[in-house]
Structure 1
Amino acid sequence: MDASLRNRPALEARIEKSRDQLVARFHTLVKLAAADRKDRNNTAIAQYHMQTETAALITTAENAQSLIRQLQEMWLFGQLDTIGDSKAQQQSDEDARSIAVLLKQLAELQQPAGGNGGLEPAPQPSIANGT
């Protein structure tokens, strides 16, 4: 596994680097497209520069797509354990434990020591013989 996918700070740094590169490449392309060029030399140089920046933009987008694919695979196969337990998850676990204790206490209160679940056997009506 790639070393940059092993912890949260490295993942965040890689994501931010990809984002910054995408924005920078796009910004450069927009600046190149907006410039006025009067002679053929400057136009040719700008066109070459735009081709280079476009290729770099595509490569950066492919790298970002590769990172996304790696993260999805790690998430699907359970290897993406870099975020840890959040406060909400911890609170949810504590609430579940307290509810389990309360339910156990309620169940114990509902069952008397008799062992039949607190139910008395119902009296059976006697059937009288016709004799």
Structure 2
Amino acid sequence: MSYDPNAGYRALQGRVNADTETLLKRFENIAMLAPVENKDKTIAAAEAYQIETHASSMIRAAEDLVALTRQLKEAWLFGQLGGGFEGGTTGADADAVVVGEMLRRRGTERVDSEVVKEKEGGREVVMEG
């Protein structure tokens, strides 16, 4: 059995394709059910239930895409996107250092601004860190 370096790509692309196809098909189904002229209440109620079902399926597909983007962001942040995704990890460590420094600076700026606000409000808060 041979190793496929693009298996990760294929799995992710398959997941994206399946979710986007679900979104598209369900939206088309909702659009087909949308006209309400000359329908009795029973048919309208049944179609309303179908629309709710299609909408919930669309929500699940959208949530899966959001989860996928989160996983990709975390993988990039923690340097796990080497090999099949970037073609190498030569810049991943440098990128991680830059992102870490930006986060550290932003956190420090936020803490410093909170201390200044407390001093201006008449109370001085000592923060240890």
Q: Fold conserved (TM > 0.5)?
A: yes
Which runs of 5 or more structure 1 residues have no equivalent in the other structure? 1-5, 87-131
Give a deviation string over 1:23-65, Cα, whole Å, max 9, x none.
1111111111135442111001001111111111111111111
Q: Which moved more, 1:34-43 or 1:6-15?
A: 34-43
- Which residue of the partner structure matches residue 34 of structure 1? 35
Superposition pairs of residues 1-131 of structure 1, within 5 angstroms: 7-34=8-35, 36-81=37-82, 82-85=84-87
The TM-score with structure 2 as length reference comes to: 0.56
Post-superposition offset of 1:80 = 1.5
Cα distance in 2 for partners of 1:14, 1:76 equals: 21
Count of aligned pairs between the two proteins: 81
The TM-score with structure 1 as length reference comes to: 0.56
Which runs of 5 or more structure 2 residues have no equivalent in the other structure? 1-6, 89-129
Percent identity between matched residues is 33
Tell me the C-alpha RMSD between the 2 structures.
Answer: 1.9
Cα distance in 2 for partners of 1:59, 1:37 equals: 32
Post-superposition offset of 1:83 = 2.5
Aligned amino acid, residue 15 of structure 1? V
